[in-house]
Amino acid sequence: MFQKILVANRGEIARRVVRTARRLGVKTVAVHSDADAGALFVRDADEAVRIGPPPPRESYLNVAAILAAARDTGAQAIHPGYGFLSENAAFATEVARAGLVFIGPPPSAMNALGDKVEAKRNVSAVGVPVVPGFVGVLENEDHAVAEANRIGFPVMLKASAGGGGIGMHRCRSEADLRKNFGDARKKGEMFFGKSHVFLEKLIDRPRHVEVQIIGDAGGTVHALSERECSIQRRHQKVLEEAPSPVVDPPMRARMLEAARKAGEAAGYRNAGTVEFIVDGNTREFFFLEVNARLQVEHPITEAVMGIDLVEAQLRVAAGEPLPFDPAALRMDGHAIEARICAEDPDKRFVPSPGTISALSFPSGEGIRVDTGVESGSVVTPYYDSLLAKLICHGKDRAQACDRLVAALRQCKVEGIKTNIPLLEKVVDSEVFRSGKLHTDLLAESFGLKS
């Protein structure tokens, strides 16, 4: 096992990694921007190094500064968390060149999976079902229209290197497609450095179900269990749960096998997630993408499986066996995670920066809170609006829902706007309790743009 690691991230995920490292006797180094100098994750780590001013490009995306911090502190490995540099193959390559270990998948796997078009080709070749569409690069608007007519409207236009809903457009007509084609290409170039776009058949009111995978040090990919992530706003997740209410044992077996094949096709190592889109009517599932990193929602898998995924990441990266036997794992109960964010749902989820004047979170049986803020913390406009993750585990879905509603009512965050009232309203609603979820639920049932 490593003696010291550097965590190239911030907030709750940096604290999460530090917590497991401390339990394993591994020293930690936090890197931080000026805006985070007094943050909880900085205080939690054994050492801390300033890497730049608040803007991410000058700090958390500053590869040279991060590598210098690792070298100067004697860290042996770098954990990227999620976001920032976590799925950047070039960064992982630079880490290796510096004589350090990247705690994540190899660059070759990230390259194979980072472009959605190439990923679809790779997994389709091993029998993983993909959404019908045009698996290639669209040359221009006319080419896109021709392919859309072949596929049949409605279609989904996507940036091939995109993520988080950026560069995605639902197109129900030729006019929609022509209107959005340039924007999808522009955003692909702006946010991901690649202007390529492609088309998929639009599946109306789909469910979003993903599978946690782990590639061990020996090269075997294991698919552990699934999570439902259908409650979204702007194609970004709000509530996640495990297991999925729509997945029965036969469907689970097929989905886990497809996820395992997708991971093996890319030569995957370490923790990752294979995402599927599910037709709510037919329950057919199709490959969507692979997130080559630890997911925000990993705690619900930990809750129902009784494992520590960060420990698994560290052990795989260090060349050690997994800390559990994947074949022996069984799901126990049900877990739901609510993402508590500094944003105003009534104003299209606009971020709500400011100073938290008072804050308290609940505790008790079946309750876990992962957070990076405290009373007095300043929520800046530079970073993601996530304040905390509230995870509730129960013997079944009904108990998990009850615990989450009760826990949300005990949350206190003052000084800024949050989505806590909306989360409580959704989880306590009849439509959510029914388990009949889909990605447009916030828009259809609560009048909010999803």
Please state whether beta strands 155-159 and 47-52 pair in parallel, antiparallel, or not at all (unpaired).
Answer: unpaired
For residue 236, give the nearest of 385, 370, 444 by alpha carbon.
385
The answer to whether 144 and 181 are in contact (CB under 8 A) is: yes
Tell me whether residue 121 is one of the annotated catalytic residues. no
From 270, 253, 252, 265, select the one nearest 214 (Cα to Cα). 270
Q: Which residues pair with 391 in a beta bridge?
A: 337, 368
Beta bridge partners of 432: none
Those residues with Cβ within 8 angstroms of residue 143's Cβ, 6 or more apart along the chain or in another chain: none
Q: What value, to the nearest 5°, has the Cα angle with vertex 60 and ends 102 and 347?
A: 125
List the beta bridge partners of residue 134. Answer: 199
Assign residue 274 a region (left: φ > 0; alpha: ψ between -120 and 50; beta: otherwise): beta
Q: Work out the angle at residue 158's Cα, subtended by the Cα atoms of residues 154 and 163, and round it to the nearest 5 degrees.
A: 135
In contact, 336 and 239? CB cutoff 8 Å: yes
Q: Which of 10, 293, 339, 403 is catalytic?
A: 293
- CA distance to 145, 257, 341, 406, per residue, from 422 (Å): 39, 36, 11, 14
- Beta-ladder partners of 88: none
Which SS3 state, helix, strand or coil, does residue 187 take?
A: helix
What span, in angstroms and rounded, lies between the C-alpha atoms of 188 and 417? 31
Structure tokens at 125: 């070749």
Closest CA to 7 of 52, 55, 41, 37: 41
Query: What is d(CA 34, CA 397) in angstroms, rounded to the nearest whole number?
Result: 42
Burial 279-317 (b: 16+ CB within 10 A, else e): ebeeeebbbbbbbbbbbbbbbbbbbbbebbbbbbbbbbb
DSSP letter at 118 equals H
Q: Which residues are catalytic?
A: 293
